Amino acid sequence: MAQSLQEYAEWLANRDDLIWPVAPELITPKATPFLKPLRGISAITFSVYGTLLHISDGKLLFDHEQQLRMQIALDKTIKEFNMWNSMSRKPGAPWEYMLSQYRNLLEDLQISQKVPKGEKPEINSVELWKQLIVRLQKNEYTFDESFYGSLDDFSLKVAYFFQASLQGQQPMPEALATLCQLSKYGKKVALFADAQPFTLTHVLRGLSSQGSLPPLSELFTQECFCLSYREGVRKPSASLYEKLIDRFEQLNISPQEILHVGNRIHDDLAIAKRLGIKTVLFAGDSLSMQASKEEVRDPNLKPDRLITNLSQLAEILD
């Protein structure tokens, strides 16, 4: 039977023939927490990259401006999945040809996404890799379906492998303990993030490095997840926030009862605030935080609370 993505990720982590990039040292910006208790909060939503997870470059990337980073990630992917024999024999290294194919497809997917005016389109990186693999299959490329699964399953695993080769990440301090504490408080917890199909695996693997995971249903309210790759738009698209609100309203939770935790003001927390959601700026990672002093002080933009460690949420909600 083919492995799930979680099982595949664990299998990769246990191999000693692979070297993975690591996230840089976590540096906390100078900020003063504002932890005055907030009453009437029934649900907490989290951004992922830069909030629950510390990631190289501060955010999830499809492409990197440093060509060496792309070279290493693509070269590892080509070798891992034995792609070279089915690639066109053109002058240059295999990764150079793949990079050209990859970037052209990425641009095509970004352009082809049809979204309402003012919305920001999101692509699904698994679809990108699926199209690349289909091209290889025209040159007799094959993969082990008994191990990887269907074409869709295989594309997901290739996308995960490439991303793991491009960017290092680790969980934010106290992430697991905080989520468990919120669960004990009886709060609904969901991910509300710019994300990809492997993002939940990123989160669970990160959290598991901090201790034993409780059942997923005790950790998260998955029916309220709002992830960009599923919706076809990314933050700060207003429709993404409206969909989140609709999902919580199905549980009789109003926007005013939702607390959103994120690391960016202008294109995340400010939109949530405008729609009536309470907001917390996570100032725990200098690399990813996007919040100026002017934004923090602006009455129309400033978050309701500010934390420098996820564990401080317990004080706000106590």
Per-residue pLDDT of the chain (318 residues; tens, 9 = 90+): 789 999 999 999 999 999 999 999 999 999 999 999 999 999 999 999 999 999 999 999 999 999 999 999 999 999 999 999 888 767 789 999 999 999 999 999 999 888 888 899 999 999 999 999 999 999 999 999 999 999 999 999 999 999 999 999 999 999 999 999 999 999 999 999 999 999 999 999 999 999 999 999 999 999 999 999 999 999 999 999 999 999 999 999 999 999 999 999 999 999 999 999 999 999 999 999 999 999 999 999 999 999 999 999 999 997
Contact residues for 56 (Cβ-Cβ < 8 A; gap 6+): 21, 22, 23, 24, 167, 168, 169
Same domain, 209 and 297: yes
CA 185, distance to chain mean position in Å, is: 25
Same domain, 180 and 49: yes
In a domain, 7, yes or no: no
Q: How far is CA 234 from CA 240, 261, 303, in A?
A: 7, 16, 20
Same domain, 178 and 309: yes
In a domain, 16, yes or no: no
CA-nearest of 21, 23, 33 to 284 is 33
Of 139, 166, 193, which residue constitutes the final position of a domain?
166
CA-nearest of 119, 82, 98, 77 to 240 is 119
Backbone φ and ψ for 144, nearest 5 degrees, come out as -80, 100
Mode of pairing for the β-strands spanning 305-307 and 233-234: unpaired
In a domain, 120, yes or no: yes
In a domain, 225, yes or no: yes
Q: Does residue 203 sit in helix, strand or coil? A: helix
Same domain, 185 and 241: yes
Domains held by the chain: number: 2
User: Residue 204 CB: number of other CB atoms within 10 A?
Assistant: 18
CATH of the domain at 296: 3.40.50.1000
Of 110, 139, 166, which residue constitutes the final position of a domain?
166
Distance CA 231, CA 223 (A): 14
In a domain, 111, yes or no: yes
Same domain, 248 and 285: yes
Of 166, 181, 196, which residue constitutes the final position of a domain?
166
Same domain, 108 and 56: no
Same domain, 183 and 162: no
Q: By residue range, what is the domain housing residue 185? A: 22-60+170-316
Same domain, 116 and 261: no
In a domain, 98, yes or no: yes
In a domain, 71, yes or no: yes
Which stretches within 199-237 are classed as H helix? 199-208, 216-219, 228-231
In a domain, 49, yes or no: yes
Same domain, 159 and 184: no
Same domain, 291 and 203: yes
Distance CA 77, CA 262 (A): 32
Distance CA 18, CA 43 (A): 40
Residue with tokens 């303990």: 177
Return the ∠ at Cα 199 (arms to 78 and 278), rounded to 5°: 155
